[in-house]
Amino acid sequence: MAVSSLSHCGRLSWVRLLGLRTNCPPTACLYYPYVHCQPRLPLCRLYSSTEVRRGLGRYVTSRLQWANSKYEAFLKRRFPRFYQLYHTFVEGFKLLFSDIKEVRRIKTKMYSGGVEFRNLPYREMEKLRQFRRNMIKAIPLVVISAPPFANYLVFVMMYFFPRQLLIPHFWTPKQHLEFRALYNSLRAQHHRPVLTELERSSVLIKNAPLMSRLKDLCVKVQGGANPKVSEVLAVRTLFSGPPLVLERLGLEHMRHISHLLFLTPRLPGFLIRRRLNRHALELLQLDRALSRLGMHQLSDSELRQACYVRGLGADQLSVDQCRAWLSQWLQISSALKDSEVSLILHNMVFLSANYPRALGHSH
C-alpha cells in the first residue's frame, strides 16, 4: 500500500513539473482517483496548456529583458555618446506609443459619447492638438525604422538632423532647451513685420478713434513696452471686420503670422488663410478649456508649454512670470468671440514681443 501511494505521488509530481494535462480514459480514475476525481485539491491541481504558454512567455520575456539590460550596460560603459542616442530613441518610442494609446482612448470617447473637440478637458484637447502636429513628422520616422536594423539609420538621423527630422519625443533634455530657444528666436524675427503690416492696414480703418488706439498700441510695442490688457481689448472690434479680420488680411501679413505658429508660409493664400483660421479657433477653444480647468492646476512644465504654444519663450522665465503672462493672455482670450480670432494671432506679438522686459510699463 505504501509503495502504491509513493507511485501515485511520483506520477503526480512529474505531471505538475511538466505542466501537462493528463487525458486518461475514465477507467484511469480507478488507478488515479486523486488526480481526476478531486482536481481541486492543492496537491492535485494540473496546469493547462494555456498556463504553460504563459509561463514560457514570461520566461522568454525575462531573458530578453536581462539581455537588453546587459546590452545597455555595455553601451553605456564603452560607447556613452551612442548610448545616449539609443536611450533617447527607446524612450522616445515608448512616449510615442503611450501617446497613441491615449489619443485612441480620447477618440473613442469622442465618437462613442458624441463629445466635440471644444468640450474636451484641457489636457485631452492639448494632447490631440500636439499629437496631430507631431505625427506629421513621426510617420516617416516610424516607416524608416520598421525594417530590421533600420533603427541604426534613425540613430544617424538623430545625431546629424535631430531638429529638422525628429519630433520632441526623440530630443534629449538639452536639445529640448536649445531647440525651443532657437524656434522662439526665429518666431521673434516676425514680431516687427507683423506690427508693420498692422500699421499699413490701419489707414483703411474708418473709425478714427479706434485707428488711433491701434496705432498707439503698435508704437508702444515697437518702443519696447508691454501693453496693458485694457489697451488690447480696446481695439478688439477691429479684428472682426475689414481690414483686420482674418478673411481680409494680405498675403504677406498672413505669411508672417504663419511663422508665429510654425506653419509653412510657402502655400497659396487660400490655404494659408484656412490653416490660420483653424489654428486660431483651436487656440481659442484651448484657452476656454484652460479657463474651465483653472491655471493653478497646471504643473510647472505644463505652464511653460502653455506659454510657449501661445508665443512666449518661457524656459528662461520664472514660474511666477509665466503665470502672470498667461493670466493676461486668458483675460484677453476669454473676452473674445469666434469672429475675433484674428486678435488671438496678433496677441502673440502684443504680449510676447517685449515680455518680460519693461514690466513697469504694464500692470
In a domain, residue 69? The reply is: no
Band of pLDDT at residue 130, cut at 50, 70 and 90: very high
In a domain, residue 63? The reply is: no
Do residues 131 and 209 both lie within one domain?
no
Q: What is the domain extent for residue 97?
A: 79-171
Higher pLDDT, 140 or 299: 299
Do residues 229 and 281 both lie within one domain?
yes
Tens of pLDDT, residue by residue over 234-273, are 999 999 999 999 999 999 999 999 999 999 999 999 999 9
Do residues 14 and 120 both lie within one domain?
no
- Over residues 134-139, the mean pLDDT reads 79
In a domain, residue 177? The reply is: no
Q: pLDDT value at position 75? A: 63
Do residues 164 and 268 both lie within one domain?
no
The reply to whether omega before 243 is within 30° of 0 (cis) is yes
Q: What are the DSSP calls for 94-116, one per residue?
A: HHHHHHHHHHHHHHHHHHHHT--
Q: What is the mean pLDDT of the chain?
A: 82
The C-alpha atoms of residue 224 and residue 218 are separated, in whole angstroms, by 10
pLDDT over threshold 90, residue 3: no
Do residues 354 and 326 both lie within one domain?
yes
In a domain, residue 179? The reply is: no
Q: pLDDT value at position 5? A: 40
Do residues 354 and 216 both lie within one domain?
yes
Do residues 167 and 200 both lie within one domain?
no
- Over residues 54-83, the mean pLDDT reads 71
Burial track 99-121 (b if 16+ CB lie within 10 A, e otherwise): beeebeebeeebeeeeeebeebe
Do residues 161 and 197 both lie within one domain?
no
Task: State how many domains the chain has.
Answer: 3
CA atoms within 13 A on the CB side of 149: 0
pLDDT over threshold 50, residue 64: yes
- Over residues 53-64, the mean pLDDT reads 72
Please report, rounded to a whole number, the percentage of residues in the chain having pLDDT higher than 70: 77
Do residues 223 and 319 both lie within one domain?
yes
Do residues 220 and 165 both lie within one domain?
no
Please report, rounded to a whole number, the percentage of residues in the chain having pLDDT higher than 90: 56
In a domain, residue 96? The reply is: yes
